[in-house]
Amino acid sequence: MTLINPTWTAILYLAAAACFILALKGLNSPRTARRGNLIGAVGALLAVVTVFVSVKLDNVPWILGAVAVGAGVAAPVARRVQMTQMPQLVALFNGVGGGAAALVALLELSHTEDAWVRLAIVFTLLVGAVSFAGSGVTFAKLQGLMTTRPVTFPGLPVLMALVLLAAVGAGVAVILTGSLVLAMILLVLGLLAGVLLVLPVGGADVPIVISLLNAFTGLAVAASGLVLGNVLLLVAGTLVGASGTILTRAMAAAMGRSVAGIMFGAFKGGSTAGSTAVSERPVRSSSAEDVAVLLGYAQRVIIVPGYGLAVAQGQHTAAELALALESRGIEVDFAIHPVAGRMPGHMNVLLAEANVPYESLKEMSEVNSEFKTADVALVVGANDVVNPAAKTTSGSPIYGMPILEVADARQVVFLKRSMRPGFAGIENELLYEPQTTLLFGDAKDSLTKVLGAVKAL
C-alpha cells in the first residue's frame, strides 16, 4: 500500500537530507555535536518511515525482522564497546554499509537495460566491495588479529594492477551484457582489490584509511541512489563522499603525509636512521619516585598522551595524576597532537571518558608556544609525535610532520615500554638529550606508581 504520493515522498526525503546536512554541520563544534548527531538519527528514522509508506512493498514482516536483527546486534555492541576499541568498530560499521550497497546494486542488475544505470551498478559493486574487504582488513589490524606492520610482497603492485585491470574489463562486460555471473566476478575482484589496498598500510596510517574507505562507501551509496532513482541516497552518499574526502586530507595533513603516499608504499625504502636496531647509547632512566619529585615540585606540567596510553588504557590514571598534581597547586594541561591515539581526535575522546575537563585539552597550535614555560613535559606512550627528526632530518620518513615541541620544556620525562622506536621506525634523538629522563614500563603501571609516589610526597 502507498499512503502518500510522490510529491510528499520527495518533500520528506528532502527534509531527511536537510537533517543530514545539519548533522554534519553540528558535528563541527563540541557544543552542538551531540545534538547534530541526534538530528542525523531523526533524519534517518524519517527516511526509513517514508520508504515504508511511499513504496509498495512485499515481504514487510521479513524486512522488519531483518531490521530488528541488524539493530539488535549493532546497538548493544556500539553501547558496550570499550572506547579504545572504537576505531575498529567504526571500520566494521563502514564495511557492512559498503557491503549492503554492493548487494543492492547486484540485485538491481536484472531490473535494467539502461547502460548508464548499469555503469552506476558497476561502480557501486566495485567500490562497495573494496570498502567492505578493506574495512575488514582494517578491523583485523586494529583488533590485533593480524600484524599492524605493513604487509608487502614482491609483485604486489603488479598483482594490484592486474586485479584492477580485470575489474575494469569485467565492469565493461557487465555494462554491455548485464550478466549476473560477470557481476559476481566483479564483486570478487573488488573484494580482492580491497584487501590488497589495505595490506601494505602500516598501523599508524590505518585511521586515514578508515576515513578514506568511509568516503568510498559514501560514493557507493550515492551511485546506488542513481541506480534506484532515489534522490535521498544520492544526496546523502555524495555528502559523505565529499566530506569524507576533506576529512581524509585533513587527517593526512596533520601527519605531514599525502594520501597517495600512504596508499602507495607508506614508509617504504625511506632512509631510517637506526630503523630496527636498538641503539646502545646511554639514556638516563629513572624510578617512579624520582619522576614524582620532578612533577610534584614543578609549577607547570604538560602531559603529552600518545598511542601507548590508549593501548594500556591508562587514561583514567593519567586523569587522576593530573588531579593529584592540581591539588598541589600545579598547573596541568594535556597537549594533544592531532593524530595522537589511533585516530585523529581519539585521544580527546579517551581523556573525556576519564573526565578530564575539555578546557585542559590543548591542541598543538595552542600549546606549542607554552612548552617554554613548562617545568616538566610528561610524555606518556608517545614517540613519533614529539620526535625532532620531523623538523631536522630531511631524509626522515616523518620529515615535515608537525610535532609537539616538548624539547622546549625544562625537563622531559618519557614513560615508555622500551627503547623500541615508534610506528615510523626511527630513533628519537630527544631520548638522549641531557634534560630527558626515562621511566620504562607499561604506561598504566608507570602512571599508577608515579601517582602513588606523588600522593606520598
Partner 1 sequence: MDGISLLTITVLAVFVGFEVVSKVSSTLHTPLMSGANAIHGIILVGAIIVAGQAGDPWVLAIALLAVVLATANLVGGFVVTDRMLEMFRGRQRPPSKPGTAAGAIEEHRR
Count of other CB atoms within 10 angstroms of residue 41: 12
Q: Report the candidate in 155, 156, 190, 197 with the shortest Cα–Cα distance to residue 170.
A: 190
Nearest distance from residue 7's CB to partner 1, in Å?
13
- For partner 1, which is the closer residue by CB, 57 or 278? 57
| Strand partners for 331 | 300
Q: How many whole angstroms separate alpha carbon 244 and alpha carbon 217?
A: 10
Q: Which stretch binds partner 1 (CB under 8 A): 25-33, 139-147, 422-430, 432-440?
A: 25-33
C-alpha pair distances (Å), 16 with each of 13, 40, 231: 5, 8, 11
For residue 188, the surrounding DSSP H or E stretch is helix 180-198
Nearest distance from residue 73's CB to partner 1, in Å?
6
| Strand partners for 450 | none
Residues in CB range of 265: below 8 A, 6 or more apart = 152, 200
- For partner 1, which is the closer residue by CB, 95 or 421? 95
Nearest distance from residue 98's CB to partner 1, in Å?
8
| Strand partners for 333 | 302
Q: Report the candidate in 117, 110, 106, 111 with the shortest Cα–Cα distance to residue 175.
A: 117
Q: Do the beta carbons of residue 436 and residue 379 sit within 8 Å?
A: no
Nearest distance from residue 434's CB to partner 1, in Å?
32
- For partner 1, which is the closer residue by CB, 337 or 416? 337
Q: How many whole angstroms separate alpha carbon 346 and alpha carbon 344?
A: 5
Q: Report the candidate in 293, 303, 301, 441 with the shortest Cα–Cα distance to residue 379.
A: 303
Nearest distance from residue 340's CB to partner 1, in Å?
9
Nearest distance from residue 253's CB to partner 1, in Å?
10
Q: Which stretch binds partner 1 (CB under 8 A): 100-108, 168-176, 266-274, 427-435?
A: 100-108
Per-residue x/- mask for partner 1, residues 215 to 244, rule CB under 8 A? Answer: --xx-xxx-xxxxxxxxxxxxxxxxxxxxx
Annotated catalytic residue 384? yes
- For partner 1, which is the closer residue by CB, 166 or 247? 247
- In terms of Cβ atoms closer than 10 Å to its own Cβ (0-12, 13-18, 19+), residue 444 is buried
Which of the residues 161 through 220 are near partner 1 (CB under 8 A)? 210-211, 214, 217-218, 220
Residue type, 150: P
Q: How many whole angstroms separate alpha carbon 305 and alpha carbon 334?
A: 7
Which of the residues 334 through 393 are near partner 1 (CB under 8 A)? 336, 338-339, 343-346, 348-349, 352-353, 355-359, 361, 363
Which of the residues 102 through 161 are near partner 1 (CB under 8 A)? 103-104, 106-108, 116
Nearest distance from residue 41's CB to partner 1, in Å?
4
Q: Do the beta carbons of residue 32 and residue 26 sit within 8 Å?
A: yes
Residues in CB range of 370: below 8 A, 6 or more apart = 302, 333, 362
Which of the residues 278 through 337 are near partner 1 (CB under 8 A)? 336
User: Does 29 participate in binding partner 1 (rule CB under 8 A)?
Assistant: yes
- For partner 1, which is the closer residue by CB, 21 or 151? 21
Tell me the number of residues near partner 1 by CB under 8 A: 114
Catalytic residue among 58, 114, 290, 384: 384
Instruction: Using CB under 8 A, pick the residue from 15, 53, 83, 263 that binds partner 1.
Output: 83
Per-residue x/- mask for partner 1, residues 62 to 81, rule CB under 8 A? Answer: xx-xxx-xxx-xxx-xxx-x
Got the DSSP string for 204-246? GGHHHHHHHHHHHHHHHHHHHHHHHT-HHHHHHHHHHHHHHHH
Per-residue x/- mask for partner 1, residues 243 to 282, rule CB under 8 A? Answer: xxxxx--xx--x----------------------------
Q: Which residues are catalytic?
A: 384
